Structure 1
């Protein structure tokens, strides 16, 4: 088993080498092992995918549940794991710092801090508070004995709450606060990606869409490419299509179109922790 410090160093190194890398998002230990067997070098949790797997909606998972889930993913493979910790389950900076420490204790080597509040009165945190929250998380991370990677997220574009200029203003402030990776989910064009990557000097994470390619994003300056809930959605697409065939057509044709059970079992063995 590779220890947490070594996983953390490997994760940080991925952000320092040339080109972009893909960090897929498993929703349970089984999908983590399969992705590890496929040769991916790091994993990230998916808040929506995990919530859906529990029969809930995104945002309906508690901090304790999320930390236990993260620990299970960290133990499943030898790959470094970063987590989508949403708003770190706290408004105040000191609460963010506490969640960062708990995240590291669960085995994670990084996590995100977003500026979305999910509160009707103010959907994104005031600028100064958003920056203070990132700074508190960074300070908590710097107190660890290994490089815990903080990803600071500006959620306004994704949620239709601000324009790209405001998101970039926040990302630049998050960079000054010490964030290791910067992320504005919801970018849909390479020009938008270039606008972000040219405005900051730290590595930039981009949420993949069907219109992007690894080469295109790499050329636009992206360093890390995540999938969010798309890995889970893709898996559920197969389930839904097979279900439609069975229910509406009385057909089991889908049973002959997917991977075989023994192949999945072999990938579980290959991708599991040593």
Structure 2
């Protein structure tokens, strides 16, 4: 079984039993998550950007693929990579670079510069990526209706239908309110990715699973939490006036 096939099989979940995928931002964090027993990982573009010293959305493609490659080399579990909108690369080249980095899947978002893309054109691009991958990449299609659109769940479901028809393996309605997950789950074919927060203000991964999520990711939340913990450690190292 190939890495992509293994990763695809992990998404065949019983209701209420979501696949939890922590997001490593470098090789060290990837090894920590793999050693903890997670069966697969999913890199967050914003977390990787922060680790590389860039603002979210400003990481050069070469640096992102190099970072993904370091993460993939560090662990023996499947790794999916968030490659934002694909950096303007032709589908064949995008697939080649992902596979060269060792990724078994990718996130592709349907917005650019904070503006939603035409769903039909985006579906066509997804179909080209899927065709170029030949089954060797698990494509997680991000739906940005709740990030940059009007938050209409029916619009999100319509976009999802176009992307599933194009061959996407999973749909990621990022920032969808948890109370809408049952509606989205009922209207979307295949796995649904939900974003979990780590600040205690939202449902737990288990609760998101109960509402219909197949897969749980955290965006840059883990990287930011680690940075906050390191900040506390650093403050404790500073000499204090006696």
Deviations for 1:210-234, whole angstroms, at most 9, x for unmatched residues? Answer: 3212322222221110011011011
CA contact 2:120–2:162 (8 Å) conserved in 1 = no
Q: CA deviation at 1:161?
A: 5.2
Mapping of 1:120-139 within 5 angstroms?
Answer: 123-139=115-131
- Mark the CA change 1:219 to 1:16 in structure 2 (over 3 Å): closer, same or farther: same
Q: CA deviation at 1:137?
A: 1.3
Rounded to whole Å, the distance in 2 between the matches of 1:175 and 1:118 is 24
Equivalent of 2:240, from 250, 253, 256? Answer: 250
Equivalent of 1:202, from 190, 213, 228? Answer: 190
Are 2:15 and 1:24 equivalent residues in the alignment?
no
- Mark the CA change 1:138 to 1:6 in structure 2 (over 3 Å): closer, same or farther: closer
Rounded to whole Å, the distance in 2 between the matches of 1:176 and 1:62 is 31
Equivalent of 2:203, from 205, 212, 216? Answer: 212
Rounded to whole Å, the distance in 2 between the matches of 1:161 and 1:87 is 20
Q: Gapped runs of 5+ residues in structure 2?
A: none
Rounded to whole Å, the distance in 2 between the matches of 1:59 and 1:103 is 18
Deviations for 1:242-274, whole angstroms, at most 9, x for unmatched residues? Answer: 445566x939xxxxxxxxxxxxxxxxxxxxxxx
Equivalent of 1:184, from 173, 184, 188? Answer: 173
CA contact 1:113–1:150 (8 Å) conserved in 2 = yes
CA contact 1:153–1:185 (8 Å) conserved in 2 = yes
Mapping of 1:24-43 within 5 angstroms?
Answer: 24-43=22-41
Q: 1:8 matched to which residue of 2?
A: 4
Are 2:110 and 1:118 equivalent residues in the alignment?
no
Rounded to whole Å, the distance in 2 between the matches of 1:242 and 1:126 is 46
CA contact 1:208–1:227 (8 Å) conserved in 2 = yes
Rounded to whole Å, the distance in 2 between the matches of 1:167 and 1:82 is 23
Mapping of 1:33-182 within 5 angstroms?
Answer: 33-90=31-88, 95-118=90-113, 123-142=115-134, 147-160=136-149, 162-182=151-171
CA contact 1:183–1:206 (8 Å) conserved in 2 = yes
Normalization by structure 2: what TM-score?
0.90
Q: Gapped runs of 5+ residues in structure 1?
A: 252-274
SS state at 2:162 partner:
helix
Q: 1:228 matched to which residue of 2?
A: 219
SS state at 1:151 partner:
strand
RMSD of aligned residue pairs (Cα, Å): 2.0
Q: CA deviation at 1:236?
A: 0.9
CA contact 1:100–1:111 (8 Å) conserved in 2 = no
Aligned positions, number: 236
CA contact 2:85–2:110 (8 Å) conserved in 1 = yes
Normalization by structure 1: what TM-score?
0.80
